[in-house]
Amino acid sequence: MSMKDKVVLITGGTSGIGKACAFAFGRAGAKVVFTGRNLQNLEQTSQELAAAGIDNLPVQADVSVEEQCEQMVQKTMNMYGRLDVLINNAGISMRALFEDLHLDVIRKVMDINFWGTVYSTKYALPYIKAGKGSIIGISSIAGYRGLPARTGYSASKFAMHGFLETLRTEMLHQGVHVMVACPGFTASNIRNTALAADGLQQGESPREEGAMMTAEEVAERILKATKQRKRDLVMTFQGKLTVFLNKWLPGLTDKLVFNVMAKEKDSPLKK
């Protein structure tokens, strides 16, 4: 599958994996539509893409608002007249023990991570179906295995997995490609903007960002897997091992996951 002259819509495309995907798909020949909530970041990213020779359209949108998802798809069609690939990337994380957590934090995470995917996919699907295109969900190992102190995040990714798996089955004979991509821990700003128990941003990553896979490497793998129309993409050895162990040795995995997450800086987990 060539990306030449394809139209790709990326939610949350002004930083991290989303921005890296904008460059990766754009350099492969696609026209790129990307969303974000911050107008200044949108304009800056658009200028950078244009400087790289990538045809692009920035759209200010909050994926947790259904009407704005409908509008971003319509703006894509008004500009380019087609939509071939939707990358549901916009997301937010959180870190706090459930017993300490304000429930509004889970609602916010679900609104962005799950409902944002549902809204965007709902309005994009007719056009992607017409062109036998692709719907991609940027998920996490947290969608295969619940991570302690990430109840809301894990719940949102489990929900995304269930939604996209069901959609894939419904579209089985319609020519629509549906893929769930799980990068594992990736160097991006998602942990810096993760919500704490009170709903405020965490501000500092609890993990060593320099030791992680870069957003650019993740984007290249997503591009390749999209071209190959893969069903699932789990990118790291740690991620693949976690999925395997959780399936076959779930009790052991409980202990291993607890121990790994308890080693994070300022972890709320205590034995």
Q: Annotated active-site positions, please?
A: 153
Name the percent of the chain lying above pLDDT 70. Answer: 94
User: Which tokens belong to 251?
Assistant: 């009790």
The third-level CATH classification (topology) of the domain covering 7-237 is Rossmann fold (3.40.50)
Amino acid 250: pLDDT = 96
Query: Predicted confidence band at 143 (pLDDT cuts at 50, 70, 90)?
Result: very high
Contact 184, 239 (CB under 8 A): yes
Question: CA angle, 216 as apex, 213 and 217 as ends, to 5°?
Answer: 50
Amino acid 234: pLDDT = 95
Question: What integer is the mean pLDDT of 158-168?
Answer: 98
* pLDDT tens track for 144-162: 999 999 999 999 999 999 9
Question: What integer is the mean pLDDT of 64-81?
Answer: 98
Listed range (36-45, 67-76, 128-137, 206-215) with the worst mean pLDDT:
206-215
* pLDDT tens track for 27-38: 999 999 999 999
Amino acid 198: pLDDT = 83
Q: What is the pTM (predicted TM-score) of this model?
A: 0.93
User: The sheet that has 134-138: what strands, in order across it?
Assistant: 56-60, 31-36, 7-10, 85-88, 134-138, 177-182, 232-234
Amino acid 226: pLDDT = 98
Amino acid 193: pLDDT = 73
Task: Give the 3-state DSSP-derived string for 18-82, with helices as H, strands as E and coil as C.
Answer: HHHHHHHHHHCCCEEEEEECCHHHHHHHHHHHHHCCCCEEEEECCCCCHHHHHHHHHHHHHHHCC
The more confident residue out of 127 and 200 is 127
Greatest CA span in the chain, whole angstroms?
56
* pLDDT tens track for 96-133: 999 999 999 999 999 999 999 999 999 999 999 999 99
Across all residues in the chain, what is the average pLDDT? 93
Cα gap 191→48, rounded to integer Å: 24
SS3 224: helix
**Model confidence at 211: pLDDT above 80:** no
**Model confidence at 205: pLDDT above 60:** no
